[in-house]
């Protein structure tokens, strides 16, 4: 009599994970884009000294986590360290915006203030690419970064967009403003309807987090604050939907000008 056997499943690891002292050191030395690094709490002194040595001089987002967290992410010998590498190469927004202006173009930039949901981020990137956005700007910390999941949610759009990451989000926005690119904050904290505002020319649209919108200091920095009028009783829109509406209004105004 044949006995039924329970099938054996192997955990499918994400393609953006690398682990182990040697592999992570090689990634750092090769200057690969690394979104964040997880280090085991209580790692041996020898292991910690080695990690500290090859990370010296680099600024990475580092989290110290229990061994169980690392074991959940990989079944391999992680040696107390896992790195999440980016599937794309980030750029710097300041030189890129200056390049666009030097070429006689009108920069069309989308700045995402603390968007943390990877699927939202991917969907926003897909919409942005479809509507002709030149670049997406995100903060290095406290924001969803480009991962394999984000890439999938964007239907590959993140491969075709310039994505810029900055350690100083507000300063980068101020620099763009000084270049003559208007900052447009899409927020509920205004009575100016988006379809009644002039969105033509070089602009940066600032969209806020899923939880509490745009931070107040960025609202204060903005040249223009606009809201999306709503007739229903629901208090707010999903940030991905709101982004699509805002970007489309910009495109509509530019076409009407022709």
In contact, 77 and 170? CB cutoff 8 Å: no
In contact, 87 and 147? CB cutoff 8 Å: yes
Mean pLDDT over all residues of the chain? Answer: 91
Question: Which regions of the chain carry the CATH code 3.40.1280.10?
Answer: 93-257
Q: In the CATH hierarchy, which top-level class contains the domain 17-85?
A: alpha beta
- What pLDDT does residue 210 have? 81
Residue appearing with tokens 């763009």 = 176
- What pLDDT does residue 13 have? 55
Please, where are the H alpha helices in the chain?
Answer: 21-29, 45-55, 67-73, 93-102, 118-130, 148-153, 169-178, 216-221, 239-257
What's the predicted TM-score (pTM) here? 0.85
Question: Which regions of the chain carry the CATH code 3.30.1330.30?
Answer: 17-85
Q: Is a pLDDT exceeding 70 seen at residue 12? A: no
**Structure confidence at residue 7 as a pLDDT band (50, 70, 90):** very low
Q: In the CATH hierarchy, which top-level class contains the domain 93-257?
A: alpha beta
- What pLDDT does residue 10 have? 40
- What pLDDT does residue 119 have? 92
User: Which tens digits make up the pLDDT trace of 54-90?
Assistant: 999 888 889 999 999 999 999 889 999 999 999 999 9
- The stretch 94-110 carries a mean pLDDT of 97
Written as six digits, the tokens of 118 are 């990877």
**Structure confidence at residue 233 as a pLDDT band (50, 70, 90):** confident
- What pLDDT does residue 106 have? 96
Q: Is a pLDDT exceeding 90 seen at residue 2? A: no
- The stretch 127-147 carries a mean pLDDT of 95
- What pLDDT does residue 237 have? 87
Find the largest Cα–Cα distance for the chain.
80
Give the residue among 133, 136, 56 at the shortest CA–CA distance from 88. Answer: 136
Give one DSSP letter per residue of 146-179, joined into a string: --HHHHHHTTTGGGTSEEEEES-HHHHHHHHHHT
Return the higher-pLDDT residue of 21 and 234.
21
Give the residue among 163, 168, 121 at the shortest CA–CA distance from 143. Answer: 121
User: Which tens digits make up the pLDDT trace of 178-219?
Assistant: 999 999 999 999 999 999 999 999 999 999 998 889 999 999
- What pLDDT does residue 9 have? 37
- What pLDDT does residue 1 have? 44
């Amino acid at each position: 009599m044949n006995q039924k056997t329970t099938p054996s499943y192997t955990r499918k690891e994400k393609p953006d994970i690398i682990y182990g002292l040697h592999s992570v050191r090689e990634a750092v030395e090769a200057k690969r884009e690394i979104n964040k690094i997880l280090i085991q709490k209580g790692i041996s002194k020898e292991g910690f000294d080695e990690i500290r040595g090859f990370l010296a001089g680099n600024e990475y987002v580092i989290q110290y986590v229990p061994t169980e967290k690392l074991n959940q992410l990989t079944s391999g010998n992680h040696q107390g360290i896992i790195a999440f590498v980016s599937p794309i190469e980030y750029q710097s927004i300041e030189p890129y915006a200056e390049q666009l202006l030097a070429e006689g173009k009108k920069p069309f930039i989308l700045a995402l203030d603390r968007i943390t949901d990877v699927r939202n981020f991917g969907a926003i990137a897909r919409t942005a690419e479809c509507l002709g956005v030149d670049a997406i700007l995100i903060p290095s910390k406290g924001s969803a970064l480009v991962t394999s999941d984000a890439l999938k949610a964007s239907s590959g759009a993140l491969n075709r967009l310039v994505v810029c990451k900055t350690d100083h989000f507000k300063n980068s926005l101020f620099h763009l403003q000084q270049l003559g690119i208007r900052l447009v904050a899409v927020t509920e904290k205004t009575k100016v309807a988006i379809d009644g505002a002039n969105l033509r020319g070089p602009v940066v649209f600032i969209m806020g987090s899923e939880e509490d919108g745009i931070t107040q200091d960025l609202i204060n920095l903005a040249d223009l604050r606009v809201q999306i009028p709503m007739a229903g009783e629901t208090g707010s829109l999903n940030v991905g939907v709101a982004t699509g509406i805002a970007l489309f209004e910009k495109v509509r105004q530019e076409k009407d000008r022709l």
